[in-house]
Amino acid sequence: MPLSDRRVAASTDPLTVEDSEAPRAAAPAKKKAKADAKPKPVVKTADKLARLGLKSDIDLVLHLPMRYEDETQLTPIGELIPGDIAQTEGVVFDNEIAYRPRRQLLVKIHDDAGDELTLRFLNFYGSQVKQMAIGVRLRVRGDVRGGFFGLEMVHPAVRPVDDGTPLPQALTPVYPSTAGISQAYLRKAIDNAITRVDLPELLPAPIAETHLKPLNVPGLLDAVRTLHHPHADSDESALIDGTHPAWTRIKFEELLAQQLSLKRAHEERRTRAAPAMPRRAPDDDASLVVRLLRALPFALTGAQQRVVAEIAGELTLAHPMQRLLQGDVGSGKTIVAALAAAQAIDAGYQAALMAPTEILAEQHARKLRGWLEPLGVTVAWLAGSLKAKEKRAALEAAALGTAKLIIGTHAIIQDAVEFARLGLVIVDEQHRFGVAQRLALRAKALNAADGKQDFQPHQLMMSATPIPRTLAMTYYADLDVSTIDELPPGRTPILTKVVSDGRRDEIIGRVREAALTGRQVYWVCPLIEESETLQLQTAVETYETLVAALPELRVGLVHGRLAPAEKAAVMDAFSRNEVQLLVATTVIEVGVDVPNASLMVIEHAERFGLAQLHQLRGRVGRGSTASVCVLMYANPLSQTARARLSTMRETTDGFEIARRDLEIRGPGEFLGARQSGEAMLRFASLENDGWLIEPAREAADQMLARFPDAVTRHLARWLGAREHYLKA
């Protein structure tokens, strides 16, 4: 444990020797300070507690230890083992300030057996030197080290004691704290609060009976007491690793609060108005949905039919849908979105489709125009890069309602855009949008409701980053989820090869071969996160070397800095097979769909995250030719990079990849903490406590249905101000 961490542990007692923040004993006394010098502002302890979020007795009581220290044992000095954290006791027989190699206080103690231990302090107060005077008996606790002069502890926690001072009977709690609040102070404040507060059970008896009893956990007050002051005979390791039944009880309460809160948000939505969009009969020749289905060159997969039905059913209801459509890359989400839009248009409303990049938005525009314009629907295209005149025309079409479907980037949510009758908002690759943009979209929807519309549009969010079930339950309990779990037929699986960049020439040879047999190829440039300029430069260089190496091929380059028109021109040429090799940065990561492309080379694959690699790879394997993805890496490979690359080689299943990604990275990073309900959890963690989510969810359903008052009180107790995190 690094010294700085240990200091938290060191301050377990008011008399503890505090170290590095302490002034040097020799620092000149500031007695000569001018009379008019302002006194330092004193932050009151109550304010400091408030900063920790500890305002009421309940807050204090629920401020639970982050870990424990075992001070119940004394180890004789002779039995100390270097590397262990231990507590021992002895009498000071030497106390000196040394100056070499640097200024330090050296205190030596011995115990009755005559074994010696050196205590070393690099920063110290004069008062501490006195406190550890020769002849004083000290109880010390710290990391044991084998020093040059025998055993030593550097900056141990130290307490003068009388011979025979009893040892604590229970583990000593260590609380989360901030600078300026000592553990001793916190402990006292919490102990006082425990005596004052009564912590009634809020779970209604029938809920406790069915959902809590099977967990075999103690009552709430009991659990809290155990956690603050574990009994001498409690299972120490279970307390420390968080599996003790007392912890289970607390985690259950917390997860219950989270589920309640998410479900409340969900229910609250049912009280708002949205346009009901009735379904048309399957033989209704006037229905756009019907005509679109008839015109499609393919039949929907079973999974597509199922999610289309789920969405269509919800659109008929008069409250806003908020549904996540998840489906692996290439599973065919776009047509599902188009059918939802068609249902909105059938009912006399407009639909908007927002995509995170201009390339993707453009491609959607092309695809949906191809499907809908022959059926007489006007589709408007709105992007930041449009010329003023085109933009004005698009805005007008949206405002007048002549455009039934408006497709674009986040330009759609900019202030100037008004819709005549917006009934459905579709967000593609929703995880790619920042929280701010999602909030803006929500505000836009609400504004639409305030203005001439007295309703809020339905929302369909699409994502190709599938979320494992436990995560979806915890984080998106306020969303309804539809999942496409089947790929369209006729896809040949992608073969993934992991090769070292030493074989670059060989790979270039493969690219030539593939292109000359009529296939198309993506070459993905290395990701350089630190510098966009460098990234661009690398892309241009890669392009130039490939052009030189493959003179017989038509090569294109696409990157984020190209003007949108140039970007569109290159993508167009590629989709018409006029370009055979497309050198690209990650701008092609999302959604790009060119079925004839069947070979992808990713350079420096070790720099990409799993989700990103999966998305990139999803650009191939869209046609009937067998596709290959070459992950080229440079040594040395880190452990996690190696894990990522083997995952990619072993599976193409997006859910499996997401599951492993979660394993490698942990849920916080996986979702981005602010994107999710994770900010609400203090005690429960998804890695360890996933099994508690299901019971918490069931209890939440019951409580909402039968005990609304208990719900409110439970939320106030456990979430308080934190609930607003969910509103993102």
* 557, β-bridge pairs: 583
Does residue number 364 form part of the binding site for ligand ADP (CB under 6 A)?
no
Q: Would the CA dihedral through 48, 49, 50, 52 be positive or negative?
A: positive
Q: For residue 274, what are its two tokens? A: 């949205």
Task: Name which of 539 and 613 has its Cβ closer to ligand ADP.
Answer: 613
CA dist 676 to 431, 435, 672, 728, Å? 11, 10, 7, 8
d(CA 105, CA 155): 10
Task: Name which of 332 and 526 has its Cβ closer to ligand ADP.
Answer: 332
Q: For residue 628, what are its two tokens? A: 């290959």
Does residue number 335 form part of the binding site for ligand ADP (CB under 6 A)?
yes
Q: Which of 12, 16, 118, 331 binds ligand ADP (CB under 6 A)?
A: 331
Does residue number 332 form part of the binding site for Mg ion (CB under 5 A)?
no
Q: For residue 686, what are its two tokens? A: 């998804």
d(CA 219, CA 287): 59
C-beta separation of 120 from 106 below 8 A: yes
Interacting partner of 330 out of Mg ion, ligand ADP, none (Cβ under 5 to 8 A depending on kind): ligand ADP
Interacting partner of 652 out of ligand ADP, Mg ion, none (Cβ under 5 to 8 A depending on kind): none
Interacting partner of 335 out of ligand ADP, Mg ion, none (Cβ under 5 to 8 A depending on kind): ligand ADP
Classify 23 in phi/psi space as left (phi over 0), alpha (psi -120 to 50) or beta. Answer: beta
Least separation in angstroms between residue 184's CB and ligand ADP is 58
Q: For residue 373, what are its two tokens? A: 């314009």
Cα-trace Rg, the chain: 32
Task: Name which of 65 and 327 has its Cβ closer to Mg ion.
Answer: 327
Angle, helix 358-372 to helix 333-346, in steps of 10 degrees: 60
Does residue number 333 form part of the binding site for ligand ADP (CB under 6 A)?
yes
Task: Name which of 113 and 296 has its Cβ closer to Mg ion.
Answer: 296
- Beta-carbon neighbour count of residue 316 at 10 Å? 13
Q: Which of 329, 411, 514, 515 binds ligand ADP (CB under 6 A)?
A: 329
d(CA 710, CA 695): 17
Among the listed ranges 15-23, 182-190, 300-308, 565-573, the one in contact with ligand ADP (CB under 6 A) is: 300-308
Q: Which of 334, 430, 453, 482 binds ligand ADP (CB under 6 A)?
A: 334
User: Whose CB is nearest to ligand ADP?
Assistant: 332
Task: Name which of 364 and 697 has its Cβ closer to Mg ion.
Answer: 364
Q: What are the two backbone dihedrals, phi and then psi, of residue 599, each rounded to the nearest 5 degrees?
A: -135, 135
Q: Would the CA dihedral through 203, 205, 211, 215 be positive or negative?
A: positive
Task: Name which of 414 and 596 has its Cβ closer to ligand ADP.
Answer: 596
Least separation in angstroms between residue 312's CB and ligand ADP is 17
Among the listed ranges 57-65, 332-340, 437-445, 662-670, the one in contact with ligand ADP (CB under 6 A) is: 332-340
Task: Name which of 159 and 619 has its Cβ closer to ligand ADP.
Answer: 619
- Beta-carbon neighbour count of residue 456 at 10 Å? 24
- Look at residues 169, 166, 144, 155 and name the one whose alpha carbon lies nearest to residue 82: 144
Interacting partner of 301 out of ligand ADP, Mg ion, none (Cβ under 5 to 8 A depending on kind): ligand ADP
Q: Which of 65, 320, 330, 677 binds ligand ADP (CB under 6 A)?
A: 330
Does residue number 593 form part of the binding site for ligand ADP (CB under 6 A)?
yes
601-616 burial code (b ≥16 CB/10 A, e <16)? bbbbbbbbbbbbbbbb
Q: Across 214-368, where does the E strand assignment appear?
A: 322-327, 350-354
User: Whose CB is nearest to Mg ion?
Assistant: 591
Does residue number 304 form part of the binding site for ligand ADP (CB under 6 A)?
yes
d(CA 503, CA 525): 16
Least separation in angstroms between residue 297's CB and ligand ADP is 8
Among the listed ranges 84-92, 167-175, 293-301, 652-660, the one in contact with ligand ADP (CB under 6 A) is: 293-301
Among the listed ranges 14-22, 50-58, 433-441, 586-594, the one in contact with Mg ion (CB under 5 A) is: 586-594
Among the listed ranges 131-139, 268-276, 522-530, 585-593, the one in contact with Mg ion (CB under 5 A) is: 585-593
Among the listed ranges 516-524, 565-573, 589-597, 670-678, the one in contact with Mg ion (CB under 5 A) is: 589-597
Least separation in angstroms between residue 618's CB and ligand ADP is 6
Task: Name which of 98 and 375 has its Cβ closer to ligand ADP.
Answer: 375
* Positions in 475-514 near ligand ADP (CB under 6 A): 488
Helices (H), 142-235: 183-196, 205-207, 220-228
CA dist 47 to 176, 193, 228, 617, Å? 16, 17, 23, 53
515: Cα separation from own chain's centroid: 40
* 424, β-bridge pairs: 351, 458
* 482, β-bridge pairs: 325
Q: For residue 20, what are its two tokens? A: 């590095």
Does residue number 616 form part of the binding site for ligand ADP (CB under 6 A)?
no
Binding mask 553-592 for ligand ADP (x = CB under 6 A): --------------------------------------x-
- Asked, as a colleague might, if the bond just before 636 is cis with ω within 30 of 0, I would say yes
- Beta-carbon neighbour count of residue 391 at 10 Å? 18
Least separation in angstroms between residue 709's CB and ligand ADP is 44
Task: Name which of 207 and 329 has its Cβ closer to ligand ADP.
Answer: 329
Q: Which of 90, 330, 466, 591 binds Mg ion (CB under 5 A)?
A: 591
The Cα diameter of the chain in Å comes to: 101
Task: Name which of 323 and 722 has its Cβ closer to Mg ion.
Answer: 323
DSSP state letters, 414-466: STT---SSEEEEEETTGGGS-HHHHHHHHHHHHHHHHTT-SS--EEEEEESS-
Task: Name which of 334 and 430 has its Cβ closer to ligand ADP.
Answer: 334
Least separation in angstroms between residue 333's CB and Mg ion is 5
Number of residues that bind ligand ADP (CB under 6 A): 18
d(CA 357, CA 372): 22
Least separation in angstroms between residue 311's CB and Mg ion is 16
Does residue number 230 form part of the binding site for Mg ion (CB under 5 A)?
no
Does residue number 332 form part of the binding site for ligand ADP (CB under 6 A)?
yes
Q: Which of 174, 355, 413, 464 binds ligand ADP (CB under 6 A)?
A: 464
Task: Name which of 149 and 298 has its Cβ closer to ligand ADP.
Answer: 298
- Look at residues 236, 219, 312 and name the one whose alpha carbon lies nearest to residue 65: 236
- The site for ligand ADP (CB under 6 A) is made up of 298, 300-301, 304, 327, 329-335, 464, 488, 591, 593, 595, 622
- The site for Mg ion (CB under 5 A) is made up of 591
